[in-house]
Amino acid sequence: MTFEPEQPLPSGLTEPSARLTNQVTDIDKEVAETATAETLNAVAAVVSSRPKVMEVPGTDISKFMALQGTPRRQSMQGFDSDYVDIVDYIVRLTHRIWEERNLGLLYTAYAHNIMIHTSEGMVYGRDKVMADSVKSMAAYPDVRIYADEVIWTGNDRDGFHTSHRGVWAARNTGYSNYGPPTGRQLVRRSVAHCIIKENYIVEEWITRDELAVVWQLGFDAVELARKMAARDAAAGIKSPVPVGTGEVDRLEGQTTPAALPAKPTEFEIEAFVRRTNHEIWNWRMFGKVRDYYVANYDCSTTGNRTLHGWGDLEANIIQMLAAFPDGRKIIDHVCWMGDAQAGYRVAVRWYFQGTHLGPGFYGEPTGKRVKIIGVSHYLIQKGKFVKEWTQFDEFALLKQIYWPI
């Protein structure tokens, strides 16, 4: 995320000016390209004197709440003056909506025609978001959403991408989509990937761990998935993966998966992430786990499950592909923060397609096609994956598997 003018920088330009980042988005790029070294150096000095953009890891919520009325930490043209940077916007807006119970803020933070992508299908429009949010608040009135991470990129001119990982905790004291109140305490993880322009979230991809919710409410997940899929189908709702879809394009006809991209001469974080996923998932090179992951690798994933070490990760991937033998993982978006010295915090949005043709965790093979949205956050240090947080809606996957034809 470095500012790089198309023309060579004027002589005398100091190092800070050559590293102008997203924080300098209030300077028109065309002007910056023609500015003198003296001007750019002066701007860089102002920018470098600003407090850094907030970070979630290691920061107590009190630090965010204390930002009210303080100066901006990055250019936020078009955003409410309350927010000092894009991370503050995500954390405090979420708190205000859910924990201060101000759902009306959805009207000033969500575009009227917002598109929300989920493994259950598309949610369209702010009114639907409002209706669903009211139902959720009624079912879980004491909800707390703890921010674990916000990985972001972009600027206020072109729009921000944010990947917000959180832990959701609540007691089920009201009626939910799953039935009457149970009084049970629940914890689930989720990731929301948003595109934000001028204070409005215009598009969002949500991955919630609904399987963990269903289990903690005391339900048999498979039986409930059958029941809810049948109910939705009877109401005229179409399956997210309709009958008659084409084959999963993992192989090129009778040949191989798409060729692995050439390794760059120097380490590039996005190339590393894309190549690793393609090689292990699509080429089935499971042994490469030991090349790309540290031995004490740690992962939090769906169903509130954890994986530790190479063996757990290999087994998790192999069991998924045993259930979906034609399974294909597609990387849709990658963004990151950090550098080689400090390590990279990476957010990856992906899709998984496959046909339920094998045995496993999801029950007897049904022959159903599935498509799920997932988001993975990684900590990568010294060229290897160290930690991972992966979420997808596994209960929505069960509903697709048991959807009546």
Structural tokens at position 1: 């995320």
The model carries a pTM of 0.88
Contact 363, 328 (CB under 8 A): no
> Are 203 and 67 found together in one domain?
yes
pLDDT for the residue numbered 32: 55
Together in a domain, 141 and 191 = yes
Residues 295 and 175 in one domain: no
pLDDT digits 0-9 by tens, 147-202: 999 999 999 999 999 999 999 999 999 999 999 999 999 999 999 999 999 999 99
In this structure, the answer to whether residues 143 and 179 fall within a common structural domain is yes
Is residue 156 one of the residues assigned to a domain?
A: yes
* Of the candidates 235, 285, 234, the residue with the CA atom closest to the CA atom of residue 256: 285
Look at phi and psi of residue 77 and say left if phi exceeds 0, alpha if psi is from -120 to 50, else beta: beta
Pick the closest to residue 76 from 1, 155, 21 (CA basis).
155
Looking at the domain assignment, is residue 326 inside a domain?
Answer: yes
- Find the helix packing angle between 221-234 and 210-217, rounded to 10°: 110
Which pLDDT band, with edges at 50, 70 and 90, does 35 fall under? low
> For residue 304, what are its two tokens?
């509130």
Picking from 208, 228, 248, the residue at the C-terminal end of a domain is 208
187 in a domain, yes or no?
yes
Q: Which structural domain, as residue segments, surrounds residue 301?
A: 269-394
| Residue 36, token pair as written in the block | 């003198």
Same domain as 36, residue 140: no
In angstroms, the CA 363 to CA 398 distance is: 9
3-state secondary structure the chain: CCCCCCCCCCCCCCHHHHHCCHHHCCCCHHHHHHCCHHHHHHHHHHHHHCCCCCCCCCCCHHHHHCCCCCCCCCCCCCCCCCCCCHHHHHHHHHHHHHHCCCHHHHHHHEEEEEEEEECCEEEECHHHHHHHHHHHHHHCCCCEEEEEEEEEEEECCCEEEEEEEEEEEEECCCCECCECCCCCEEEEEEEEEEEEECCEEEEEEEEECHHHHHHHHCCCHHHHHHHHHHHHHHCCCCCCCCCCCCCCCCECCCCCECCCCCCCCCCCHHHHHHHHHHHHHHCCCHHHHHHHEEEEEEEEEHHHEEEEHHHHHHHHHHHHHHHCCCCEEEEEEEEEEEECCCEEEEEEEEEEEEECCCCCCCCCCCCCEEEEEEEEEEEEECCEEEEEEEEECHHHHHHHHCCCC
Same domain, 95 and 36: no
The enclosing domain of 367 has a CATH number of: 3.10.450.50
Q: What is the pLDDT of residue 3?
A: 36
pLDDT of 41 strictly over 50: yes
| Residue where a domain stops, chosen among 157, 182, 208 | 208
pLDDT at 16 over 60: no
Residue 191 lies in a domain: yes
Which is nearest to 299 in space by CA: 393, 390, 205, 186?
A: 390
204 and 284 co-located in one domain: no
- Tell whether 240 is covered by a domain: no
Do 40 and 125 sit in the same domain of this protein? no
Is position 124 within any domain?
yes
Of 7, 28, 49, the residue that ends a domain is 49
Say if strands 185-197 and 159-171 run parallel, antiparallel, or are unpaired.
Answer: antiparallel
- Verify that 41 and 77 share a domain, yes or no: no
pLDDT in tens, 235-274: 998 888 877 778 898 988 889 999 988 889 999 999 999 9
Which residues, 6 or more positions from 290, have their beta carbon under 8 angstroms from its beta carbon?
A: 310
pLDDT (average), residues 335-349: 96
Q: Provide the token pair at 370.
A: 């599935």
- The structural domain count of the chain equals 3
- Whether 22 and 105 map to the same domain: the answer is no
230 found inside a domain:
no
Please check whether residues 121 and 70 belong to one and the same domain. Answer: yes
Say what the pLDDT of residue 34 is: 59
Q: Residue 245: inside a domain, yes or no?
A: no
Residues 100 and 151 in one domain: yes
